[in-house]
A and B are shown apart, each in its own frame.
Chain A
Amino acid sequence: MRFGNRTLARTWTAYAMILPAVLMIAAVAIWPLIRTFWISLYDLRLNDPERNQLNMSYSVNVEKYAESTALLLSLLKKEAAAAQGDRQSELSALADRLSRVNEELKEDAAFKKRLDDVNELLDNFQPVPAELQQIRLDRNKAVRMRQQLSDIKQSVQSLKDGGALSRPDDAIGLTNSVLQSFSVPNYVGFGHYQKLLSEPRLWDALKNTALFTAISVALEMLAGLLIALLINRTFRGRGLVRAAVLIPWATPTAVSAMIWHFLYDGQNGIVAKLLMEIGLVSDMSALLSTRTGALASVILADVWKTAPFVALLLLAGLQTIPSALYEAAQVDGASRFKQFFHITLPLLKPTLLVALLFRTLDAFRVFDLIYVLTGGGPANSTESITIYAYKTMFAELNFGAGSALSVIVFVCVLLISMAYVKLLGGETLSRRIR
Chain B
Amino acid sequence: MNRQAGYSFYAATAIFVAAVMFPFVWIFLASVKAPAYLYGRYAFDVVVPEYTLDNYVSVFANHPFGRYLLNSFAVGLLTMTVTLGIASFASYAIARLHFPGKTLFLGVLLAISMFPQIATISPLFLFMQSAGLRNTYAGLVIPYTTYALPLAIWYMTTFFRNIPYELEEAAKMDGASALVVFYKVLVPLVSPGLFTTAIIVFVDAWHEFLFSLTINTKESMMTVPVGIAMFQGEFTFPWGEISAAAVTVTVPIIVLVLLFQRRIISGLTSGAVKE
Contacts and interface: CB of A to CB of B under 8 A. Distances in A.
Nearest to B126: A399
Contacts of A263: 23, 26
Interface of B is mostly: helix
Interface string A173-204: 00000000000000000000000000000000
Interface stretch (B52-60, B144-152, B162-170, B189-197): B144-152
Nearest to B89: A17
Contact of B115 (A17, A29, A246, A390): A29
B121 A393 contact: yes
Interface in A399-434: 399, 402-403, 406-407, 409-410, 413, 417, 428-429, 431-434
A21 B90 contact: yes
Given A29-B112, A247-B24, A308-B20, A255 B120 contact: no
Interface in B17-68: 17, 19-21, 23-24, 26-27, 30, 38-39, 43-44
Nearest to A402: B122
Contact of B105 (A18, A243, A355, A402): A18
Nearest to A268: B43
Q: Interface on chain A toward B: helix, strand, loop, or mixed SS?
A: helix
Contacts of B264: 246
Contact of A36 (B94, B123, B149, B214): B123
B274 A11 contact: no
A20 B91 CA distance: 12
A230 B38 CA distance: 37
A304 B100 CA distance: 44
B256 A250 contact: yes
B118 A390 contact: yes
Nearest to A394: B214
A407 B119 contact: yes
Contact of A371 (B97, B98, B154, B209): B209
A406 B238 CA distance: 34
A386 interface: yes
Contacts of A135: none
A89 interface: no
Contacts of A239: 261
Contact of B246 (A248, A258, A355, A431): A258
Nearest to A403: B122
B272 A32 contact: no
Given A13-B178, A241-B13, A256-B23, A18 B94 contact: yes
Contacts of B105: 18, 22
A331 interface: no
A28 B146 contact: yes
Contacts of A17: 89-90, 92-93, 97
A313 interface: yes
B70 interface: no
Interface string A14-50: 1101101110110011111101100100000000000
Interface in B238-275: 239, 242-243, 246, 249-250, 253-254, 256-258, 261, 264-265, 268-269, 271-274
A428 B214 CA distance: 37
B142 A28 contact: yes
A11 B242 contact: no
B120 A252 contact: no
B115 A21 contact: no
B106 interface: yes
Contacts of A413: 114-116
B222 to A, nearest CB: 11
Given A262-B30, A393-B121, A25 B112 contact: yes
B86 A24 contact: yes
A234 interface: yes
A58 interface: no
Contacts of A315: 269
Contacts of B147: 29
B231 to A, nearest CB: 8
B115 to A, nearest CB: 6
Contact of A32 (B44, B120, B265): B120
Contacts of A249: 268
Contacts of B146: 24-25, 28-29
A13 B114 CA distance: 29
A233 B2 contact: yes
A313 B268 contact: yes
B80 interface: no
Contacts of A212: none
A74 B107 CA distance: 64
A323 interface: yes
A248 B112 CA distance: 25
Given A233-B2, A253-B225, A270-B26, A14 B93 contact: yes
Contacts of B107: 433
A260 interface: yes
Contacts of A308: 20
Interface string A319-334: 0100100100000000
A325 B179 CA distance: 45
B5 interface: yes
A361 B119 CA distance: 14
A72 to B, nearest CB: 29
B219 to A, nearest CB: 16
A60 B89 CA distance: 49
A323 B272 CA distance: 20
B99 to A, nearest CB: 4
B5 A268 contact: no
Given A15-B99, A235-B13, 10 more contacts: A10-B97, A25-B108, A233-B5, A245-B20, A249-B268, A263-B26, A318-B1, A323-B1, A371-B213, A417-B114
13 contacts: A14-B98, A18-B90, A36-B119, A39-B123, A230-B9, A233-B4, A247-B257, A254-B226, A258-B231, A258-B242, A270-B26, A368-B210, A428-B274
Which 10 A-B pairs have CB atoms at the shortest separation, nearest pair first?
A: A254-B225, A316-B269, A32-B120, A35-B123, A28-B146, A14-B99, A14-B97, A268-B43, A17-B93, A235-B5
